Amino acid sequence: MSEVVTVKQTNMENIYECEFNDGSFRLCTRNLVSGFNVYGERLIKYEGVEYREWNAFRSKLAGAILKGLKTNPIRKGTKVLYLGAASGTTISHVSDIIELNGKAYGVEFSPRVVRELLLVAQRRPNIFPLLADARFPQSYKSVVENVDVLYVDIAQPDQTDIAIYNARFFLKVNGYMLLVIKARSIDVTKDPKEIYKAEVEKLENSNFETIQIINLDPYDKDHAIVLSRYKG
């Protein structure tokens, strides 16, 4: 197995680039829970610090960063509401980035998947798993505070409407949303580019300012991620 040669800070807080002796590069985050991985990712020791390899084929946020995300609004101390947290792959890296002063509320609909997320959260006190339906944010209003970032990765035809509805409950004015648009979950008959355009228009008609749209191919086919700011 190739060995790490160096670890460099990227231009995004708490996100690093690991270079291996075979010349390859990978994103990585500093491991909040030393000695433990989450989804089989490599643990990398460098100058007494442990990092976790961040697989862009397993995490859309990592894919977006590699495809040129201009800015990552998830930083140290950030409060994040994550809709569609699944078994914990991406939210575990969010946990690394925000550190213990931040909070990541992870909403997931499947009881089986939430059980896996709970195992991740047992070692990561800044992750708060919630078994809930993202279509009904009022059901978790009592336990989720206002957040700086809303991250949405759900496979629903009305995914953008669900995102906007949650933003009205939880996202601070001038807060950011990272919305994963899954074209095939919305309409299998249309060109994905048409779908991305239509969903972005929904956001802009609901007081969101579009900052960037990133096509996630080859990491996720027929997916895009939209970074926007909520004007309230």
Please state the residue numbers annotated as binding site for S-adenosyl-L-methionine: 89-90, 108-109, 133-134, 153-156
Residue 167's contacts (CB-CB under 8 Å, 6 or more residues apart) are 150, 175, 177, 206, 208, 230
As a whole number of angstroms, the distance between CA 81 and CA 130 comes to 10
The SS3 assignment for 5 reads strand
Q: Which residues are annotated as a binding site?
A: 89-90, 108-109, 133-134, 153-156
State the CB neighbour count (10 A cutoff) for residue 66.
Answer: 16
Give the C-alpha distances (Å, rounded to integers) separating 80 from 21, 101, 138, 212, 230. Answer: 35, 12, 17, 19, 14
Closest-CA residue to 163 (of 100, 81, 98, 86): 81
